[in-house]
Structure 1
Amino acid sequence: MTLRVSLQHRLGDFALDVAFEAPTGLTCLFGRSGSGKTTVVNAVAGLFRPDAGRVDLDGVTLSNLPTPARRVGYVFQDARLFPHLTVRQNLRYGGFVRRRPVAGLDQIVALLDIAPLLDRRPAALSGGEKSRVAIGRALLSDPRLLLMDEPLAALDEARKAEILPYIERLRDETGLPILYVSHSLSEVARLATTIVVIEAGRVIRSGPAAEILSDPDTAPILGLRDAGSVLTARIAAQDADGLTRLETGAGPLWLPAISGRVGGEVRIRIAAQDVILSRTRPEGLSALNILPGVVLAVRPGDGPGMLVQLDVGGQRLLARITRRSAIALDVRPGQPLHLIVKSVAVSQGDVGVTAAG
C-alpha cells in the first residue's frame, strides 16, 4: 500500500506546501515544532480541510470522503481514553464507531500484551499502558491507514522503552502503512522505514530511512548534535560475559546484551560523534568494535567539525570529527579507514528488532 499526499494551505504568514509518498511500513514526518507535521496528519485524517490538495491510498481518494469513511486510525499524543470505561470497553469502542462487530480483539490484545489490563479503568494505567490501549482501540476501528502524532512525547524514557517494541511489531506485523509524527531523531532512527523531513511547511528531503540518516548533507537539517546512522546486523551469539556478538557486512560488532534470538536481525543507531576514525587498524585498545570502511563523502561544517560518510560492508555510516583531525588523516573520498565504536556508546534504546528478527 502506498499513501500519496499533496497539500497546500495558507494560514496567516505560514504556508504549507507538501507532496510525498508513504509506502507500506512506518513513514516518519520529522521536523521542528511548528513545521506543519500535525497539520498534515490532520488533513489526511479529514480533521482539517486544506485550501487545496489530494490524499490517495492505493487508488482510493481519501480527500473525497467524509472523515468516518476514510477508515483511518488515529493515535494522539495523549491517549484520550474514556475514563468511565474499562480497557475492554475502550477497545470495543473502535468497532462501535464503525457500526460493526469488533473483529480481531484477541489478536490485538495479544499483539500489544494488554490482556492483564482489560478490566481496569484508565486511571489505574501507567502512561505506557494507556498508549498501548489507545493503539489497540485505533487498530480495532478496522483502519486501512494508521496515523500516530507524537505518541511517545508525553512519556518518560522508561515508558518510551516499554512501548517502542510494540510500535516495531505494528510496523512489521500488521501490514498497515503508518504515518508517524516525531521530532525525536533517536526515535525516528529506530522506527522509521521512510523519512519525510518537513521544514517551515515544505518537504526538504524524503526517502528510505537509512539513506536519509546517513547523508551528510541532511544531517545539519536533522540536527548535528543527534546526527547518526542506522546499521543492520544479525545476532550471532549471546556471549557468557554479557555481550551480544553481531555480524555485519564489515565484520563482528559487540554490544551489551540485547534481547533477541540468534539469527535474528536488529537495527542499531550509531551516533556520528561516537565513531572514531583511524588510517590503520589500531591495536591495544579497550574498544572491541573496529570495522573497515571506505570514505564516500566529506562535508565541512560551519565550525570546527566535519561529517564523514563511509561505506561499511555495503552500509553507510556517519562519523563526526574535527577539521583538524580530518586534515591530519588526509580524509578524502575513496580513502580506506577503520572505524572504532565503543560498545557502551550504544544504548539499549538505540537497538530495535526488525521483521526478520
Structure 2
Amino acid sequence: MSPATHLFRIDGATATPFRRASMTTEGLMELQHLERWIVAHPEIMGGNVRIVTQQFDRWATSGGQVAADRLDVLGLDATGQLVVVELKRDGDKRVHLQAVTYAALVAGFTKETLGIVHAEFLNKSKPDTPITPEAALALLTEHVEGEWGDELLTRPRIVLIAERFPSQVLTTVSWLTELAPSDLAIQCIEVAVFREPEPADQLCATFQQIFPIDDMTDRILGPTADRGGSGVSVELAERTRRQRSVPLIVDNNLIPRGASLQLNLGTLLRPDWVSEVESWIAEEPDRGAVTWLEDRQKPLRWAYRPDVEAWSATKLAQHIVELATGQARTFSGPDAWTYQGETLFWIADRFSKANEAGAL
C-alpha cells in the first residue's frame, strides 16, 4: 500500500485518521499472525480458495535427494488450479524467486498426493475427528467446479503477500508475466497495519492487490493478437471466466433475492440423461424448487434438501443429475441454471459486454 493511502474512522462529518503502524513495531509475526490471517480468510487471495496445507517441506527426488524448502501456504481454487502463497512480514527482494521455486515443486503434485497432504493438514487441526486421504481428496474434488484433471495442477497461481515489495520484485514479476501471459499468473498483495484512533486503539489490517493492478488488462483497449497458449492455460482461463459469473451477478444485483431458477441441461448432457433428470424432478415438486440467495459462493437454496443451507451452482446441478441418473456427471453450473430463460453465464457475460460497450 502506498504511504500516501489514508484510513479514517467516520462519524458523520467527522473523519478521524488511523495511525499507520507496521507488523514489526506491533510485534506481529509472519507465521503466528500473518499466515493465520490468510488461512482463516483465503478470500484475500481472490477466487474461491480452499486451504490444502501450510508449512509444507517434504520434497524429494526418486533417487532420494531431499530439499528442505518450506512452502508457507498451498491452496486450491475452485477452478482446479493450485495456489502457491509466499508471505513476508516486511519486504524481501527474493520473495518472487522463492515462490517460483515452490510453484515448480508444487506442479509435480497429483490429486492422490494432494489428498494425503490435505488429510495430514486437517488431522493436525482436528485430531479428534481423523480423516483419511481418500476422504480429504473427496473434499478437494467437491470444492472444484466441474471436472478436475491432473493436468490442471501443472499451472499453479502464485500469490505474494508482504508489507512492501522492492522494485526488483515488481520489475521481475512484470517481466515474467509478460513473457508468459497465458501460462504464468502472479499476484502481489500488500498488507498494511493501522492502529485505530482512541479510545478503541485497536489494530486493523488492510490487504490490497498492487499487481496486476485491478485487472487493468481487462479494461484497457488496444490492438489484439493471438498469443496462443497451452490447452491447459486456455481451459483455466475459461474456467475462471465461468466461475466469475455468480459473483458478477451478485455484486450487480442482476437476479433478485428469492427468484426462482430452473435447471436446463439440454446443451450439456445427452438427451436420454436429460430425460431421466426431468422425469426425476417431475416426481416431486420440491425437486425443482430452487431459489436465488445472493451469495457469491453458494447462491442457491434447494427446497428438496432444507437441511442444506446453500449450494454452489455447479454442485447442486451435478448432485441432482447424480441422484436422477445414478451416475456422476461433470459440467459447469453457470451453464446449467437459468433465470427468465437465460443461463447464469449468459446473464453475466451480457452484463460484462454491455459495460465494455458503455466505456467506449
| TM-score tier after normalising by the smaller chain length | under 0.3
Q: Using CA pairs under 8 Å that are at least 6 residues apart, name the structure with larger relative contact order, 1 or 2.
A: 1
Question: What's the TM-score, normalizing by structure 1?
Answer: 0.24
Question: What's the TM-score, normalizing by structure 2?
Answer: 0.24
More strand by share: 1
More helix by share: 2
